[in-house]
Chain A
Amino acid sequence: QSALTQPASVSGSPGQSITISCTGTSSDVGTYDFVSWYQQHPGKAPKLMIYEDYKRPSGVSDRFSGSKSGSTASLTISGLQAEDEADYFCCSYAGSSTLFVFGTGTKVTAL
């Protein structure tokens, strides 16, 4: 099972919106509605930001939103803030044998 494909980096000015893509296959993202997204600041543990493609856990800012079309999922950060600078990883359920496959990760920079 190959890792999901994400852009290595995405940047934007504070206040702007940015979108991170996460491309999988019909064996994972394209079949199951179980894409999740994680934010990771340097030296810290990952934090769940989105689950089941678009749902937000309690306490996560509504500036973060998820969507999916076919085998590509997306995370949009609206009103980019300096505190949003971090690495972001997508993850998808990939069947009962493989279970989870993560994305390659995207570094977000607020210019």
Chain B
Amino acid sequence: EVQLLESGGGLVQPGGSLRLSCAASGFTFSSHAMGWVRQAPGKGLEWVSGLSGSGGSAYYADSVRGRFTISRDNSKNTLYLQMSSLRVEDTAVFYCATWDWNYYFLDYWGQGTLVTVSS
């Protein structure tokens, strides 16, 4: 059974940093592209970032490019999202998901971790 467990969310001040983690199990992690999707309170879904299985190709939404960095440790079956220069508008639940590299869909999702940016 595929399981994705996010952690690392919390309250941070504007301009601060936070690192999210996503621990994966139940599938061959290194063979799967992974992504982060966020959802602001009461709002819709927004694609944030994606990373190939090898970690060699990374993608970012314009809204986070230059502030967020996606990475993975395939030896630990873990995906990361390093977030810096956080803004109030980054407040959201962040989901990690497996991403089908060839057909562009997100097939398995974690339960999410809440990031609150507030002074």
Q: Contact check: which of A45, A48, A96, A105 meets B105 at CB < 8 Å?
A: A48
B109→A91 contact, CB < 8 A: no
Size class of the contact patch on chain B: 20 to 34
Which stretch of A10-18, A32-40, A67-75, A77-85 is in the interface?
A32-40
B47→A102 contact, CB < 8 A: yes
Scan B96-119; emit 1 where CB is below 8 A from any A CB, else 0: 000010011111111110000000
23 pairs across A/B with beta carbons < 8 Å? A1-B62, A3-B44, A36-B105, A38-B45, A44-B111, A46-B95, A46-B109, A48-B105, A48-B106, A51-B100, A51-B105, A89-B44, A91-B45, A91-B47, A91-B105, A91-B106, A99-B104, A100-B35, A100-B106, A102-B45, A102-B46, A102-B47, A104-B44
- Is the C-beta of B50 less than 8 angstroms from some C-beta in chain A? yes
Chain B contacts to A: CB under 8 angstroms: 35, 37, 44-47, 50, 59, 61-62, 95, 100, 103-112
Q: Interface residues of A, CB < 8 Å — how many? A: 27
B44→A48 contact, CB < 8 A: no
